[in-house]
Structure 1
Amino acid sequence: MGAESYSNMHNLGLLLFRLYVGFTMAFAHGLGKIPPKPAFMGFVGSLGLPAPELMAWLAAIAEFGGGLLIAIGLATRFSALALGGTMVIAAFLVHGADPFAKKELALLYLSCCVLLFTAGPGAFSVDRLISKK
């Protein structure tokens, strides 16, 4: 496989990865939190986080908005950082005392965020279109 074919496969892989991770996060996890319901805000408050209403909104925006931005490849590294921070809270605070099986999904999303933060969105992304000017 030549260098150009490898590059195209690499970028196609990042595109498919971003689409799946971003849309799954946005619609399976984030959409139901917008707007945050009183029960969710109460749960966030029970974790001992300051300003539970604000934190609930930030989590909802990171999951829904960040997921959509990751899917289209816009502000990808920032979105991956915000969503990754949310997944750190989910894995180690929300599920801190739980067995690994309860933390697994948050840790999997965290690892996806680390990959996107380090690798970037790839060539098939809005970020790349903007940077080409």
Structure 2
Amino acid sequence: MLRTVLTRPFLTDAGLLILRVFTGVLLIHHGYEKLANIENFAAAFVRPLHLPFPITLSYVAAFSEIIGSWLLITGLLTRVGAAAIAGTISVAIYHAIVVNGFNIYLLELLGLYWAAAVLVLAAGPGLFSVDTLIVRKLNPSTEEQAAKLESLLQPETEPEYQSSTN
């Protein structure tokens, strides 16, 4: 048991779980705040970027943060949630730089959210996720695959070799 706990894969997967859950829990309220006053968010953050359909894009931003956070927390369609969050945060970083210049105090939290989303996007959800449970359920184990492959490679009957004598 101690060997399992101290191995790198376990610690990596535990770290990914902690990162996913904390990022999702801390980010989800931003999406709910946007929904609480969507007009104000559109006026303050979308219209200054001169993007079309500011109300629609405001809803997209809010729901990508809410749904993306839930996907990160549960580990279901984790990379989809991480991509949604990374995209939304990328626009938020662009907005912060355009409106306020390179202000590290405004960019540090956005940078951390973006980095967490990109890491989960690149590394995947880890073992402690619904995605992993689904993959394990749909794919047979490695041992079963090896046994099937071995049985396919073994001939059913030994070929009889005829010795030819001259």
Shared topology, TM-score over 0.5?
yes
Letter of the 2:90 partner, please give it: V
Percent of aligned pairs sharing the same letter: 34
Question: Structure 1 residues 85, 77: closer, same or farther in 2, change over 3 A?
Answer: same
Are 2:85 and 2:117, in contact at CA under 8 Å, matched by a contact in 1? yes
Instruction: Choose which of 2, 6, 12 in structure 2 pairs with 1:10.
Output: 12
| Counterpart residue number, 2:153 | none
Question: After TM superposition, where is structure 1 displaced by more than 6 Å over at least 4 residues in a row?
Answer: none
Are 1:36 and 1:57, in contact at CA under 8 Å, matched by a contact in 2? no
Superposition RMSD in Å: 1.9
- Pairs aligned (count): 132
Larger mean CA deviation between 42-51 and 63-72 belongs to 42-51
Distance 2:74 2:17 in 1: 8
Question: Structure 1 residues 132, 36: closer, same or farther in 2, change over 3 A?
Answer: farther
What are structure 1's unaligned runs of at least 5 residues? none
Distance 1:99 1:41 in 2: 22
Deviation at 1:3, TM superposition (A): 7.1
Higher Cα radius of gyration: 2
Q: How does 1:31-110 map to 2 (within 5 A)?
A: 31-34=32-35, 36-43=37-44, 44-96=46-98, 97-110=101-114
| Higher RCO (CA 8 Å, separation ≥ 6 residues) | 1
Deviation at 1:93, TM superposition (A): 2.0
- Confirm whether residue 132 of structure 1 aligns to residue 136 of structure 2: yes
Cα-to-partner distance string for 1:45-92 (whole Å, 9 max, x where unaligned):
232111111110111011111111111111111111111111111112
Larger mean CA deviation between 1-10 and 60-69 belongs to 1-10
Q: TM-score, normalised by structure 1?
A: 0.88
Distance 1:18 1:6 in 2: 18
Q: TM-score, normalised by structure 2?
A: 0.72
What are structure 2's unaligned runs of at least 5 residues? 138-166
Instruction: Choose which of 111, 116, 122 in structure 2 pairs with 1:112.
Output: 116
